[in-house]
């Protein structure tokens, strides 16, 4: 069992930065691939970034590549550093965990979700 709690969302102007954090609880954190997803009003939840179990591999959606960076540590935290934010990045951001050896980009393939944190980018 894994519980996920996100923090760090907020309101920022276009071009600014935010850092999201996901704190996990549970003894098997190292067994899970971690990811960030987002959902804007009226749209489906979409993949943003993922990181492998030991943090050696990362994968990004084309829309955030070069601007966002995902990382994880041994203290069960998974962070998403977001730079050069755009109004189209506005969404609720969710942390997710998948009991899989592969990075997961399909929301349906995740096993656990956080409650989400709002990110709003003003123009």
> Which residue has tokens 């935290």?
77
Residues 9/118, Cβ–Cβ less than 8 Å:
yes
pLDDT tens-digit map of 89-117: 999 999 999 998 888 999 999 999 999 99
pLDDT tens-digit map of 24-68: 998 777 889 999 999 999 999 999 999 999 888 999 999 999 999
Average confidence (pLDDT) over 9-38: 93
Chain centre distance of CA 107: 11
Which residues, 6 or more positions from 114, have their beta carbon under 8 angstroms from its beta carbon?
4, 5, 6, 22, 94, 95, 96
């Amino acid at each position: 069992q894994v519980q996920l709690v996100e923090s760090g969302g907020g309101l920022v102007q276009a071009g600014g930065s935010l850092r999201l954090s996901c704190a996990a609880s549970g003894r098997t954190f190292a067994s899970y691939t971690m990811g960030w997803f987002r959902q804007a009003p009226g749209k489906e939840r979409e993949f943003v970034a993922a990181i492998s179990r030991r943090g050696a591999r990362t994968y990004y959606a084309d829309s955030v590549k070069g601007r966002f960076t995902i990382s994880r540590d041994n203290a069960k935290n998974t962070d998403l550093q977001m730079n050069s934010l755009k109004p189209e990045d506005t969404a609720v951001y969710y942390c997710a965990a998948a009991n899989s050896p592969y990075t997961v980009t399909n929301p349906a393939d995740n096993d656990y979700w956080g409650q989400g944190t709002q990110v709003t980018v003003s123009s």
